[in-house]
Structures are given as C-alpha cells and as structure tokens.
Amino acid sequence: MHWLRILILSGVIGLSCTVAAPLRLVVVIVFDQMRGDYLWRWAPLWEAGFARLLAEGTVYSHCFFHHAATVTCTGHATLATGAAPERHGISGNRLIASCCRSLLVGCAEDTLQRPSTLWLQLPTLGDYLRQRTPEARVVSLSHKARAALMMGGHSPTAVLWLDPEAGGFVSAPGLPEPPWLSEWNRHHPPQRYAGTVWQATVPASLAPPDSVPWEAPFPEGSRSFPHRIPAEGRAFWDGFLLSPSSVEWLFEAARAAVRHEALGADSIPDILWVSVSTTDFVGHLFGPDSREVLELYHQCDHLLGAFIDFLDSAIGRSHYVLVLTSDHGVAPIPEMMARQGPGAYPGIDAGRLAVEELTRYLHNHLLETFGPQSGKSWFRLDPPLLLLQREEIQASGLSPERVRDSLCQWLSQYRGVGLVLPSTALEGEAVPCLAGPDSAALLQLLRRTFPAGRAGDVLFYPKPFWVIGTDVPTTHGTPYDYDRFVPLVFFGGTIPALRSQQPVSPEDIAPTLASLLGLSMPTATGSRLIFERTP
C-alpha cells in the first residue's frame, strides 16, 4: 500500500491519505495569463470546474514564479522541467541562442525558424516518464506552438497546436501525426464557429463596466458585448481565438486525445498537458479588469467542469490527478491605474514605454556623445535585452563597455524605466543602479532567469505598473508580483480538500507529480515536493 503525505512545510498542518487505486493519468491544465487572484476574486460566480477545484482540491493561495521572464515560453518550460530558466535555458519568448552571443531566436524554433525544442536544455516530466517506461503516453495540446512544444519536451508521443494556415491542429515536425488527427480536424473545423455570437452571461451588477476607453476592439469592431466572430479571413481566426469557442474546441480535442491515445486506460501512467491560450489573448486585448476577461473565465468554468466530468467517467477520479496553474500573470492597463477622479485609482504612477521612442532617445544621446559615426546600428532593443553590435563599435575606435555604461546611464533616466543593469551584474559585478529594500530579491530573480552569457549587454525593465509596448493595452514579462503570481490547485486521486497559505512555486509542480508517479527528477534542483509518495 502506498501513501500520499503532505509535507509539513508551513509548520502547522500535515495530512496523509492512502492511495486507493494506482495513478494512471496526470493532467496539467494551464490557463495562459491566469493571475493568481482570479480564482478568489470571482469565486462567488463559479458554478462548475473552478468551484469543484476550490471545494475538493488542495488550493495554494501563495504561488509565485521565482524568475523575471514572466512570458509564455519560459513559464511552460518551467512547469514542465521543474527548474528555473537559468538552467532550462528558455529565458524568454525570444532568447539569445547558446551557439551565438548576438543571435536572437524564437524560444521554440531552431535557427531556420522551424518548430523545435532545441534550446530547452533539461528533460521534462514527460521525458523522465518515457525514459523509465517507453510505453507511457505524453500528449501536449495548446493553441500556441511554443506552449505545446515546451510542455511536450524532447520525447513526447504527440504535440499539437492550432495552425490557421492548416485550418486546425498540426503535429510537431519529427513526430508521427496521430492517426486520428486528420479525421478529427475534418469533423471539428474551427470555421464552424464563424458568425457565432459571444453573449455576456454574468449579471451586469456583478461585472465590471463593459467598455473602457483603453480596451482594444474585438475583431468585429466592438468593445462591448455581444461580440461576433467574423466569417472569414484573418479576422475570423482572431475572433475565434478571442472567444470561448476556441476553448471549447481545445477541450474537445483533449477529450479526443484521451480516447484515441488511450490515456489512463491501463496500469502504465500517462501525462496530458493542456494549455489554453485564449485567456492570454483576451487579457492582452481587454485587460485583467475587463468584463471580457471575467466573462471568458465564467465560460471556462463550465468547460472545465465538463472536462472533469469526462475524466471522472473515462478514467475514474481515483485514477487521475489534475493540476490547474498558469504560466504567468499580467499587469493592469496602465492608463486605468493612472487615472484620477471618482471611482478611480488614486493616481498611481503608471504608464507605457514605446520601444521606437526609446530607441530614438538612445540614438540621439549616442550622436551627441560619440558623434555622427554612432547610430542605431550600434545597439538593438528586444526588451528586456539590449544587445550591442560590438564589432561596429570597436571599428569606430571605442570600447563597447564605455558605450554600454553610457546606455545604462541614459536608460536609467528615461521616464518609466525602473530597473537597468549591465548583464555582467548577474555574474557578481557591483550593481549601483539597484537600490531599495527589494534590490537583493530582484537581483536573485534576474539571476535565476538568464543562463550565463545569454542576457545580452544590458537588462532593463519598466517601473511597477508600467508596461513596455503599444501594440496591446496591457502585457506581462516583469519581475513584479502581479506578473509572477499564478494559481495552483491539485485535484483528484486522494488529494485532500485543503486551502493552504504555504508559499509554493510552479517549479514545485513537476517534481511533485514525478514523486506521485514514482519518479525522481534530479535536474529539478531548487524546487521542493508539495506532496510526496512514500512507502
């Protein structure tokens, strides 16, 4: 007989429970950009999936990433490997390739821009499971390629994501296409949702205002409900991915994967990863305080509830464990934070930085300081990285370090920039630009983010509640709490109903699940087990 034991990390409570049946399936559901407060903030509105998780699962209210790159690729890689990005290598959605100091590549692409896990330097939970038991099935699904690839790891059974050009799910190159996929795509085309109207379902008295000036419009042009998915073209795909219909479609595919891949059907344990990207798309476009975000999660609550019912029927509650979490949080829309007046925030210092304007500002200072031979070609901004073109600078007879230090100084004076430091500071150099009570903690977050030699020449981040970019109303990617705060719930099997304020990290998820599967993850150093399987 095996036991599940909750480690007494808080020093207050320890629980243990017997495993009544062998664990046959692990399911990890990632709601992209689901900030940690959402589960509690809207708890009175939950009626199905989220309500069951809160009532019957072990819920952690203090779950924070311990790194600064709070973006999709990094978050999913951390969830899958149980390690910090300084070790797994995925330090951003775009990163400096380990082969070349100045080459920026997509996190889930090789140097020829083909989908790949080339830069993922550690094995994932699924890799360890398949190493021990090659017959085990590891399936990963998402709307986004980079999310699906990072979760699937290096030796998955199937990795699937939405490709609008293909009109449905595509399979990762190098893997055999699942034999059921082609027929499933034919019978479940996203185009069947063309013209579908997304209606509000939450009573207006319980919801935020339906439209604020800083929101972007839905593809059909409206900032308020109802929203209609356009009938064709790029606008159709944008509307589909911004609506609950795309979440419904993804969960339909997840059910198909369970059935056709026979996940959890025998004594060999399997893993299913599901990442919902719709929540990220809607969060960027409308902001975390919008009615659209609330309405979307209200629909996700019901879709998640139906999926849990399916797992209960197909696998049996005692045979699976489900984890709910996210890859990162999100900042409020800065213009909403900065407004003043009745019913508004008290004029919080918030705003946005335009990369084009910042580039011009730095270029002008270079011209003033170093003369006409200097130029924009001396540096490249790819927030939070600034990369120097060292050969061009040296050809002008200047030291790259001198130019770097000047850029650091000018960046630190730019309104809205809150943190600037040379990347050498991550290796122990003095950091005069870091000051204040949180400086040591911020530096630790940065050091846990970037592999050695792959942080460019200068790192810079906005001040709290400022964002970088003008393409969407809000974003994420900073080391601040609102971007690192995510939900975490363990559910199913014999996981007890418990609410815990014990501090945990998403890094803890993979090694904890490994323990429940009877595995060890020696590369997941720095994490700890939340639950542990013991004899």
Long-range contact set of residues 40-43: C-beta below 8 Å, sequence gap at least 24: 42/294, 42/297, 42/298
Same domain membership, residue 294 and residue 356: no
CB 445 within 8 A of CB 479: yes
Listed in order, strand segments (DSSP E) in 372-416 are 379-382, 385-388
Is 432 buried (19+), middle (13-18) or exposed (0-12) by CB count in 10 A? Answer: exposed
Taking residues 510-514, report their average pLDDT. 96
Same domain membership, residue 320 and residue 385: no
Within 10 Å of residue 98's Cβ, how many Cβ atoms? 16
Q: Which of 34, 20, 28 is nearest to 296 (CA)?
A: 34
pLDDT tops 80 at residue 212: yes
Per-residue pLDDT reduced to its tens digit, 238-253: 999 999 999 999 999 9
pTM value is 0.94
Same domain membership, residue 239 and residue 145: yes
Is 2 buried (19+), middle (13-18) or exposed (0-12) by CB count in 10 A? Answer: middle
Per-residue pLDDT reduced to its tens digit, 424-434: 999 875 555 54
Report which residue type is found at 35. R
| Domain membership flag for residue 487 | yes
Share of the chain above pLDDT 70, in %: 92
Q: Domain boundary at 440, 468, 496, which?
A: 468
| Domain membership flag for residue 475 | no
Share of the chain above pLDDT 90, in %: 83
Distances (CA, A) of 316 to 265, 266, 268, 288, 371: 10, 12, 15, 35, 71
Same domain membership, residue 464 and residue 486: no
CATH number for position 462: 3.30.1360.150
pLDDT tops 90 at residue 454: yes
For residue 243, what are its two tokens?
Answer: 């609506």
Instruction: Please give the tally of structural domains in the chain.
Output: 2
Same domain membership, residue 373 and residue 295: no
Domain containing 118 equals 3-333+482-534
Same domain membership, residue 507 and residue 421: no
| Domain membership flag for residue 432 | yes
Lookup result for tokens 């918030």: 350
Same domain membership, residue 489 and residue 464: no
Tell me how far apart the alpha carbons of residues 119 and 450 are, in angstroms, rounded to a whole number: 13
Per-residue pLDDT reduced to its tens digit, 334-389: 998 888 655 556 678 999 999 999 999 999 999 999 998 887 789 999 999 999 99
Strand 458-462 to strand 417-422: parallel, antiparallel, or no bridges (unpaired)? antiparallel
For residue 420, what are its two tokens?
Answer: 């600037």
Query: What pLDDT is attached to residue 346?
Result: 64
pLDDT tops 60 at residue 439: yes
Report which residue type is found at 199. Q
Q: Which of 532, 533, 531 is nearest to 498 (CA)?
A: 531
For residue 204, what are its two tokens?
Answer: 């207006």
Query: What pLDDT is attached to residue 6?
Result: 31
DSSP-based helix, strand, coil % in the chain, nearest 5: 35, 20, 45
Per-residue pLDDT reduced to its tens digit, 38-57: 999 999 999 999 999 999 99
Tell me how far apart the alpha carbons of residues 87 and 449 are, in angstroms, rounded to a whole number: 8
| Domain membership flag for residue 344 | no
| Domain membership flag for residue 339 | no
Per-residue pLDDT reduced to its tens digit, 105-141: 999 999 899 999 999 999 999 999 999 999 999 999 9
Beta bridge partners of 269: none
Q: Domain boundary at 418, 443, 468, which?
A: 468
Q: Domain boundary at 468, 501, 517, which?
A: 468
Same domain membership, residue 315 and residue 407: no
CATH number for position 102: 3.40.720.10
Same domain membership, residue 132 and residue 221: yes
